[in-house]
Structure 1
C-alpha cells in the first residue's frame, strides 16, 4: 500500500478492506514479527510517506491472516488514531520491527483546527535540511 499523504492513509484505513472484523485498521505483511510481545508492550508502526516518517499508530495486536493463496500472514492491528511525528527523512523499511525508541521521531503537538497540513513533499524536504 502506498499513499501520498496522511489523509490518504486515513482514507485507506477507513475502507472495509483495510479493517478487522471489529473495525480497527490493519496492515497485512508477509512476515510475523519475532519480537511480537515486545512490540505489543507500547510499540507503534511508523508510516513513511513521500520519503519521510510523518506519523505513527500504536499497536494493539497481531492477528493471523490467511491469504487467498493459503499463506499465513500477519495482520498488524493498530489504534485508529494517527499521531503526527516530526518529519524524519527515511527510506522504506520494516519500521514495526526495527525502529529503536531512541531513533523514533518525537510526536508533534496536536494541530489546531485552523492549521493547514504541509504537503508530504514539503515536510520531507524541510526534514532533509533539518528545519522540521
Structure 2
C-alpha cells in the first residue's frame, strides 16, 4: 500500500510524529475511511510505503487492520504499524488522494542501514540511477 504522508518534510518528521503517538498507544496507527479489500493479503507481510515530498522514502510493516468507530459512530479503518521505519531508495510518486495498492515488483528496495541510509532527494536519486551509479 502506498500513501501520502501529508505534512511531513522528511522521514524524521514522520518518526517524530509516530514517537508522540507511541507515548499514548502501543503501536503507530493511521485512520482512513475505507477498509482495504485486500486486507488479508496485506496482513501477510505487507507494508505501507509513505510518500514524502513527492517520493516514496520509507515503509512500515502493517501488523493489523481493524474497524473502529469515529466520533459520529461511523465505521472507519485503523491501520496498525510496526514502529520500525525502514528507509527505501527514493522513488518519485505523483500526488494522489487516499491510498493505492503497490505491486511488490514496483516497490522501492530498502536502503541498508548505516552510511547507505542517506535520504537523497528523489530527482538526484533518479539521476544517479539513470547514470548507472546505482
TM bracket (short chain): 0.7 to 0.9
Aligned residue in 2 for 1:124: 122
Q: 1:102 aligns with which of 92, 102, 105?
A: 105
TM-score (norm 1): 0.81
Aligned residue in 2 for 1:75: 78
Structure 1: distance between partners of 2:30 and 2:95: 15
RMSD across aligned positions (CA):
2.4
Equivalences, count: 124
Q: Is the contact made by 1:6 and 1:49 (CA closer than 8 Å) also made in structure 2?
A: yes
The C-alpha deviation readout for 1:38-67, integer Å capped at 9, x for no partner, is 000010000000000000001100122211
Structure 1: distance between partners of 2:110 and 2:39: 23
Aligned residue in 1 for 2:61: 58
TM-score (norm 2): 0.80
Structure 2: distance between partners of 1:101 and 1:21: 32
Aligned residue in 1 for 2:32: 29
Structure 2, unaligned runs of 5 or more = 1-5
Structure 2: distance between partners of 1:99 and 1:20: 30
Alpha-carbon distance, 1:82 to partner: 0.3
- Relative to structure 1, the CA distance from residue 60 to residue 21 in structure 2 (aligned partners, 3 Å threshold; closer, same or farther) is farther
Structure 2: distance between partners of 1:130 and 1:13: 31
- Relative to structure 1, the CA distance from residue 61 to residue 116 in structure 2 (aligned partners, 3 Å threshold; closer, same or farther) is closer
Structure 1, unaligned runs of 5 or more = none
Structure 1: distance between partners of 2:117 and 2:108: 21
